[in-house]
Amino acid sequence: MADTTQLPNARAAWAKTQFDGSATRVALGGRWTLANSAILEAAMQSLDTQGAELLHIDLAAVDAIDTCGAWILHRQLRRWQERGAQIELVSTSDAQASLLERMGVADEERVPLLRQSGGALAELAIRAGMAATEVAGEAKALIAFVGATTVCALRAIRRPGRVRFVSTVHHIERIGIDALPILGLLAFLIGVVLAFQGADQLRAYGAEVFTINLLGVSILREIGVLITAIMVAGRTGSAFAAEIGTMKVNQEVDAMRTIGLDPMETLVLPRLLALAITLPLLVFFANTMALAGGAVMVMLGLDLSFEQFVEQLENAVQLNTLAVGLIKAPVFAVLIGIVSCYEGLKVSGSAESVGLHTTQSVVKSIFLVIVFDAAFSIFFSRIGL
Amino acid sequence: MTGSESDSVIRVRGLVTRFGTQTVHNGLDLDVRRGEILAIVGGSGTGKSVLLRTILGLKSPDGGSVELLGATLEALDEEARRPVLKRIGVLFQDGALFSARTVAQNARLPFLEHTDVDHRLVTQLIRVKLSMVGLPQSAGAKLPSELSGGMRKRAGLARAIALDPDILFLDEPTAGLDPIGAANFDSLIRDLQQALALTVVMVTHDVDTLCAIADRVAVLVDSKIIVGTLDEIRAHPHPWIQAYFDGPRGRAARTGLAVSAGRAVSEGI
C-alpha cells in the first residue's frame, strides 16, 4: 500500500515494493544496464519484502535491460526462492523473459575461474621440479637429435649424391659473404680496443711492445673464434630456427614428410654443412681484421712501423696459435647448427612458439659455445699447447 | 540512442579502398540497420575483411566516409573513440584471444577498461557470459592454447559480448568448425542476437550460415556492394551471385530450406 523503498538516483533505475493483500508487488523500472550496476545492486540490497511468500515481479516500467541487469535480478530472485518465496513474473516481454531464462545456466557449476594454487612455497617447489625435469628432457632430446644428425650425415657420406649442394651453397652465401661487413667491422674494433687497453696497462712496466704479443695470442687463440661464433649464433642461428620454425607452423615440414623428403636431409644437413665450411673461414677473416685493427692502433699509439709490428708478431705467435683457434671453429659451427635446427623443428602450433624457440636457439648456442671453449682451454693447456 | 543515428547504426558512403594500383572498393555505399543480422559475402580478394577493418577504424579509407554509431572514427583521437568502442564487440577469425591471459581474464579486460563495476559482480557476469556462449565454467581458468578452435571462438565471443555491445562484428564465425559445430554456432549467434537485441555484421563464406541466420545479405562484386534480402539477392542476375547460389554448395543449402518449407506446408494440410 505504501512505498517502502525509495532509491538514490531513482530516475536511472529503481525497484520498489507495494503490499496489496495476499501478494507483494515488486515494481522495477528505469534502465537496468551495466552503467547502473551499482545503483541496482544497492536497490536490491535495500529492498524489503517483509518475508512475503508470494511475490509479483513487475517489469512493466523497465526501459532497457541487459545481461548485467538481468543477472542482478536473477540473483535476487534466487535468494527469495531459497528463502521459500514464490515468484511470479508479470508484464515481461518475450525478450526479457528469454534473457532472464538464460541466467539460470550460470548457476549450475561453481568451478573457480582462477587457477588453483597451493600457496607460494608449494608453487615454488612445483615450478623448480618442472624446470628440472624439463632440463633433463631437453638434454635427452638434444642428444637424440645429435644422434639423428650423425646418422643422416653418415648416410650422406655413403651416398654423396643426396646432399643438396645448391641449398648448401645458398646457405654458405648467406652465412658467410653476407656477414663479412658486420663481422669485419666488429673484429676490427675489438682489435683497436684490445690494443688500446693493453698498451695502457703495459706502459707502466715499459713493455708497450708486448702489446703485440697480447694481441696476437689472445685474438688468434680465443677472441677471433669466440666473437665469430657468438655473432653467427645471433645472426644465423636465430635465422635457422625462425625459418624452420615458420615452416613447421605452415605445416611445410609435414608436407615434406608426406612427399617423402626427409627434413633432416633437406633442412638440417645443408645448413650444418654450410656452417661447418663457412665458420672457419669467417674466423680467419675475423682474425685478420682484428689484427689489422690492433696494428692500426699500435702504429698510431706506440709510434711503431708496420714492419716492426709484423716482426714482433712473428716472435709472439706460431702456427700452433692460429691452429688452436681455428680447430675450434668447426666444432662451434656444428654446435650452433644443431641447436638452432633442433629448436626450429621443436616449434609447434603458433607464431608465438616461433619467437620462443628462436630466442632459445640463440641463448643455448651461445651458452654451449662458451662451455665448449672453456673445455678446449683446459684440454689444450693439459696437452701443453 | 540519439536521433542522429536514426536506424542506420553503420553508414558507409562512397568508400574507396586501394592497394597500390589495385582498387578494391570504388564508391561503395552500405547501411546497416539496427537489430538486423547482415552477412557480407564475396569472392576471395573482393575486400570483405578490409571493409570490416575499415568500419572498425583499423584502416582509414582512401576515400569516402564511414560512420559507426553516428561517429566518424577516423576523425576522432584515441580518447574520443572509447565511448564508441565500448558499444561494439568484435570476434576475429581465430578468436584473437590474448594468449598470455586465461579465458576469464580475457573476458574481464573490457570491464576493467571501460567500466568501474564491482569486482564480484564482474566475476559473476563473466560466468553468465561463459554459459551464454556455451562454455563450461572450467574453461575460464584455461589459457587459449589449451582450448580447441571451436572453444577459442566461443571464448572470443564471450569477450566480444562482455559489455552487451550494440553491434557485434564477426569475421568468418564458422570457418574452421565442423558442420555440426558451425550449425550450433549459427544458432548461438541467432539466440544471442535476439536476447541481447544485437546488430550483427558478419563476413562469411558459409552459404549455410547465410541461409540460416542472415536477415540481409551484402555481396561484394565489381568493387561495389549489392544489398538485399536473401531472396532478392538470389534473384539478382549478376553472374557471380548466380554462380555462388547455384553452385553445388548453394543448391544444397537452398534444398535444406526448401525441405523445411515443404514440411511446414504438409503440416498445414
Alpha helices by DSSP H, chain A: 37-46, 67-82, 94-103, 120-158, 165-175, 180-202, 211-218, 224-232, 238-249, 252-259, 263, 269-302, 306-316, 319-346, 351-382
pLDDT confidence of residue A281: 96
CB within 8 A of A57, min separation 6: which ones?
Answer: A26, A28, A73, A77, A87, A88, A89, A90
Strand, helix or coil for residue B148 = coil
Tell me which residue of A320, A239, A331 sits closest to A276, measured CA to CA.
Answer: A331
Say how many CA atoms lie within 13 Å of B110 toward its Cβ. 27
Q: Using one digit for the tens of pLDDT, what is the confidence trace for B16-33?
A: 988 888 888 888 899 999
Q: Could you tell me if residue A319 is inside a domain?
A: yes
A192: domain range?
A: 134-382
Q: Are residues A187 and A276 in the same domain?
A: yes
Q: Using one digit for the tens of pLDDT, what is the confidence trace for B113-133?
A: 888 888 888 988 898 888 888
Say how many CA atoms lie within 13 Å of B223 toward its Cβ. 12
Q: B194 contacts in A (CB within 8 Å)?
A: 95, 98
Closest chain A CA to residue B107: A113
Residue A116's pLDDT band (boundaries 50, 70, 90)? low
Mean pLDDT of A114-126: 79
Comparing CB atoms, the residue among B124, B140, B196 nearest residue A71 is B124
Alpha helices by DSSP H, B21-142: 48-55, 78-85, 103-114, 119-132
Which site among B101, B115, B121, B123 would you substitute to test the A interface, given the most A Cβ atoms closer than 10 Å to its Cβ? B121
Q: Could you tell me if residue A112 is inside a domain?
A: no
Identify the residue whose cell numbers are 592454447.
Answer: B145
Q: Using one digit for the tens of pLDDT, what is the confidence trace for A274-287?
A: 999 999 999 999 99
Count of CB contacts below 8 A, A vs B?
Answer: 83
CA–CA distance, B220 with B232 (Å, rounded to integer): 15
B123/A113 touch (CB, cutoff 8 Å), yes or no:
yes
CB within 8 A of B127, min separation 6: which ones?
Answer: A106, A113, B137, B140
A66/B121 touch (CB, cutoff 8 Å), yes or no:
no
Closest CA of chain B from A3, distance in Å: 27
CA–CA distance, B68 with B73 (Å, rounded to integer): 7
Q: Are residues A78 and A153 in the same domain?
A: no
Question: How many CB atoms neighbour CB A356 within 10 A?
Answer: 16
In terms of C-beta density within 10 A (0-12 exposed, 13-18 middle, 19 or more buried), how is residue B134 classed?
A: middle
A71/B123 touch (CB, cutoff 8 Å), yes or no:
no
Q: Could you tell me if residue A296 is inside a domain?
A: yes
Q: Does B214 touch chain A (CB under 8 A)?
A: no
Residue B90, phi then psi, degrees to nearest 5: -125, 130
Cell output for A135: 632440463
Q: Are residues A83 and A155 in the same domain?
A: no
Domains of chain B plus CATH, in order, are 3-87+165-268 (3.40.50.300)
B104/A95 touch (CB, cutoff 8 Å), yes or no:
no
B268 pLDDT more than 50: no
Q: Could you tell me if residue A327 is inside a domain?
A: yes
Q: Could you tell me if residue A115 is inside a domain?
A: no
B117/A75 touch (CB, cutoff 8 Å), yes or no:
no
- The end-to-end CA distance of chain B, in Å, is 45
CB within 8 A of A84, min separation 6: which ones?
Answer: A53
Q: Are residues A250 and A305 in the same domain?
A: yes
% of chain A with per-residue pLDDT over 70: 94
Strand-pair partners of B163: none
Closest chain B CA to residue A65: B196
Q: Are residues A28 and A141 in the same domain?
A: no
Q: Could you tell me if residue A192 is inside a domain?
A: yes
Alpha helices by DSSP H, chain B: 48-55, 78-85, 103-114, 119-132, 149-160, 179-196, 207-213, 230-234, 239-246, 248-268
pLDDT confidence of residue B2: 41
Q: Does B115 touch chain A (CB under 8 A)?
A: yes
Integer angstrom CA distances of residue B20 from B23, B43, B61: 8, 20, 14
A37/B123 touch (CB, cutoff 8 Å), yes or no:
no
B262 pLDDT more than 80: no
Mean pLDDT taken over chain B: 84
Which site among A113, A116, A347, A354 would you substitute to test the B interface, given the most B Cβ atoms closer than 10 Å to its Cβ? A113
Q: A115 contacts in B (CB within 8 Å)?
A: 102, 141
Q: Using one digit for the tens of pLDDT, what is the confidence trace for B148-201?
A: 888 898 899 999 988 888 999 999 888 888 888 888 888 888 888 887 888 999
Residue A301's pLDDT band (boundaries 50, 70, 90)? confident
Structure ipTM: 0.76
Q: Are residues A81 and A179 in the same domain?
A: no
Closest CA of chain A from B205, distance in Å: 22
Q: Does B1 touch chain A (CB under 8 A)?
A: no
Q: A72 contacts in B (CB within 8 Å)?
A: 121
Mean pLDDT of A312-320: 91
Q: A102 contacts in B (CB within 8 Å)?
A: 128, 131-132, 195
Chain B neighbours among A 65-124 (CB < 8 Å)? Answer: 66-68, 71-72, 75, 95, 98-99, 102-103, 105-106, 108-116
Q: Could you tell me if residue A300 is inside a domain?
A: yes
Q: Could you tell me if residue A329 is inside a domain?
A: yes
Q: Are residues A50 and A140 in the same domain?
A: no
Q: Are residues A142 and A219 in the same domain?
A: yes
Contact A269, A334 (CB under 8 A): no
- Strands in A86-90's sheet, in edge-to-edge order, are A13-20, A23-32, A54-65, A86-90
DSSP A88: E
Q: Does B229 touch chain A (CB under 8 A)?
A: no
Q: Using one digit for the tens of pLDDT, what is the confidence trace for B33-84?
A: 988 999 999 888 888 888 998 998 888 888 888 988 888 888 888 888 888 8
Q: Does B139 touch chain A (CB under 8 A)?
A: no
Residue A106's pLDDT band (boundaries 50, 70, 90)? low
B6 pLDDT more than 70: no
Comparing CB atoms, the residue among A67, A114, A116 nearest residue B125 is A67
A106/B140 touch (CB, cutoff 8 Å), yes or no:
no
Go through chain B and tell me how many residues it has: 269
CA–CA distance, A350 with A61 (Å, rounded to integer): 51
Q: Are residues A289 and A367 in the same domain?
A: yes
**Where is pLDDT greater, at A274 or A19?**
A274
Q: Looking at the 3D structure of chain A, how many domains does it have?
A: 2
CA–CA distance, A191 with A189 (Å, rounded to integer): 5
Closest CA of chain B from A228, distance in Å: 36
Cα-based angle A272, A366, A242 (whole degrees, multiple of 5): 55
Closest CA of chain A from B185, distance in Å: 16
Integer angstrom CA distances of residue B251 from A50, B10, B39, B150: 63, 31, 18, 26
B194/A98 touch (CB, cutoff 8 Å), yes or no:
yes
In one letter, which amino acid is A279?
A: L
Cα-based angle A153, A158, A164 (whole degrees, multiple of 5): 60
Chain B neighbours among A 182-241 (CB < 8 Å)? Answer: none
Q: Are residues A174 and A84 in the same domain?
A: no
Q: Are residues A18 and A146 in the same domain?
A: no
Closest chain B CA to residue A117: B141
Q: Are residues A47 and A163 in the same domain?
A: no
